[in-house]
Chains A and B, each alone.
Chain A
Amino acid sequence: MSHLLALKNIKKSFSGVKVLKGIDLEVDKGEIVALLGENGAGKSTLMKIIAGVFSPTEGEIYLKGEKVTILNPKHSQELKISIIHQEFNLITDMTIAENIYLGREKKKFAGIIDWKKMREDTVAVLERVGIKHLSPNTLISECSVAERQLIEIAKALSFDSEVLIMDEPTATLNAKETDTLLGLMTSLRNEGIGIIFITHRLDEVMRVADRIAVLRDGNFIGSEKIVDVTEDKMVSMMVGRDITDLFPDRIIPQEEILMTVDNLSVSDKLHNVSFSVAKGEVLGVAGLLGSGKTTLSKALFGLEKRQTGSITFLDQSIGTPKQAIDSGIALVTDDRKGEGLVLNLSVYENLLLPFYRKIGKTGVLNKSKMDTIVSKWIDALKIKVHHPSVEVGTLSGGNQQKVVLGKWLQTNPKLLILNEPTRGIDIGAKTEIYKIIKDLTEEGISIILISSEMPELLGMAHRTIVLHEGELSGELTAEEATQEKIFNYATGGGAVAK
Chain B
Amino acid sequence: MQNNQDVEKKNKWIDIVLFLDKYRVLLIFALLLIVASFLSDAFLTTNNLFNVFRQVSIIAIMSVGMTLVIITAGIDLSVGSVMAFSGAILAGVIAAGVSLPIAIIACLAVGIVLGAFNGFIIAKGKVPAFIATLAVMVIARGMTLVFTQGNPIVISNPAFRFIGSGTIFGIPFPIVLMLVIFAFMYWVLKHTTFGRYIYAIGGNEEASRLAGISVDRVKISVYALSGLFASMSALIYTSRLMSAQPNAGTGMELDAIAAVIIGGTSLAGGKGGVTGTLIGALIMGVLDNILNLTNVSPFYQDIAKGLVILAAVLIDSKLANLKK
Alpha-carbon separation in the docked complex, A104 to B197 (Å) = 11
Alpha-carbon separation in the docked complex, A102 to B208 (Å) = 8
| Cβ distance A80 to chain B, nearest Cβ, rounded Å | 15
Chain B, residue nearest A83 (CB) = B210
Confirm or deny: A366 has a beta carbon within 8 angstroms of a beta carbon on chain B. no
Which residues in B have their C-beta under 8 angstroms from that of A107? 193
**Cross-chain contact B192 with A90 (CB below 8 angstroms):** no
**Cross-chain contact B210 with A91 (CB below 8 angstroms):** no
**Cross-chain contact B204 with A105 (CB below 8 angstroms):** no
Proximity bits, A82-106, B CB within 8 Å = 1, else 0:
0000000111111000100011110
Looking at B199, B207, B270, the one whose CB has the most chain A CB atoms below 10 A away is B207
Which residues in B have their C-beta under 8 angstroms from that of A102? 196, 200, 207-208, 211, 213
**Cross-chain contact A89 with B193 (CB below 8 angstroms):** no
Proximity bits, B156-182, A CB within 8 Å = 1, else 0:
000000000000000000000000000
Among residues 229 to 275 in chain A, which have CB atoms less than 8 Å away from a CB atom of chain B?
Answer: none
Alpha-carbon separation in the docked complex, A377 to B191 (Å) = 57
Confirm or deny: B142 has a beta carbon within 8 angstroms of a beta carbon on chain A. no
Which of B196, B200, B213 is close to A113, meaning CB atoms less than 8 Å apart?
B196
**Cross-chain contact B204 with A91 (CB below 8 angstroms):** yes
Chain B, residue nearest A88 (CB) = B207
Which residues in A have their C-beta under 8 angstroms from that of B212? 73-74, 77, 103-104
Confirm or deny: B271 has a beta carbon within 8 angstroms of a beta carbon on chain A. yes
Among residues 102 to 120 in chain A, which have CB atoms less than 8 Å away from a CB atom of chain B?
Answer: 102-105, 107, 110-113, 115
Interface size on A, residues (CB 8 A): 20
| Cβ distance B14 to chain A, nearest Cβ, rounded Å | 13
| Cβ distance A239 to chain B, nearest Cβ, rounded Å | 32
**Cross-chain contact A89 with B206 (CB below 8 angstroms):** yes
| Cβ distance B9 to chain A, nearest Cβ, rounded Å | 15
Confirm or deny: B203 has a beta carbon within 8 angstroms of a beta carbon on chain A. yes
Alpha-carbon separation in the docked complex, A46 to B196 (Å) = 32
Chain B, residue nearest A85 (CB) = B210
| Cβ distance A199 to chain B, nearest Cβ, rounded Å | 22
Confirm or deny: B194 has a beta carbon within 8 angstroms of a beta carbon on chain A. yes
Interface size on B, residues (CB 8 A): 19
Which residues in B have their C-beta under 8 angstroms from that of A92? 203-204, 270
Alpha-carbon separation in the docked complex, A74 to B194 (Å) = 18
Q: With A91-B204, A93-B199, A93-B271 as given contacts, are A111 and B210 in contact (CB-CB < 8 Å)?
A: no
Chain B, residue nearest A104 (CB) = B212
**Cross-chain contact A94 with B203 (CB below 8 angstroms):** yes
Chain B, residue nearest A113 (CB) = B191
**Cross-chain contact A112 with B271 (CB below 8 angstroms):** no
**Cross-chain contact B192 with A94 (CB below 8 angstroms):** no
Which of A77, A104, A111 is close to B192, meaning CB atoms less than 8 Å apart?
A111
Chain A, residue nearest B204 (CB) = A91
**Cross-chain contact B206 with A94 (CB below 8 angstroms):** no
Looking at B194, B203, B206, B209, the one whose CB has the most chain A CB atoms below 10 A away is B203
Among residues 270 to 289 in chain B, which have CB atoms less than 8 Å away from a CB atom of chain A?
Answer: 270-271
**Cross-chain contact B199 with A112 (CB below 8 angstroms):** no
| Cβ distance A268 to chain B, nearest Cβ, rounded Å | 9
Which residues in B have their C-beta under 8 angstroms from that of A113? 191-193, 196
Which of B193, B199, B204, B271 is close to A90, meaning CB atoms less than 8 Å apart?
B204
Which residues in A have their C-beta under 8 angstroms from that of B192? 110-113
Which residues in A have their C-beta under 8 angstroms from that of B271? 93
Alpha-carbon separation in the docked complex, A105 to B193 (Å) = 7
Which residues in A have their C-beta under 8 angstroms from that of B194? 111
| Cβ distance A111 to chain B, nearest Cβ, rounded Å | 4
Alpha-carbon separation in the docked complex, A89 to B205 (Å) = 10
**Cross-chain contact A98 with B196 (CB below 8 angstroms):** yes
Which residues in A have their C-beta under 8 angstroms from that of B207? 89-91, 102
18 new A-B pairs (CB below 8 Å) besides A91-B208, A103-B213, A107-B193?
A89-B207, A89-B210, A89-B211, A91-B199, A91-B207, A92-B270, A93-B199, A94-B196, A94-B199, A98-B196, A102-B196, A102-B208, A104-B211, A105-B196, A112-B191, A113-B192, A113-B193, A113-B196
Q: Which residues of B contact A (CB under 8 A)?
A: 191-194, 196, 199-200, 203-204, 206-213, 270-271
A-B contact pairs, 24 of them (CB 8 A): A74-B212, A90-B204, A90-B207, A91-B199, A91-B200, A91-B203, A91-B204, A91-B208, A92-B204, A92-B270, A93-B199, A94-B270, A98-B196, A102-B196, A102-B208, A103-B211, A103-B212, A105-B196, A107-B193, A110-B192, A111-B193, A111-B194, A113-B196, A115-B191
7 pairs of A and B residues whose beta carbons are closest in the complex: A103-B211, A91-B203, A74-B212, A89-B207, A103-B212, A102-B211, A111-B192
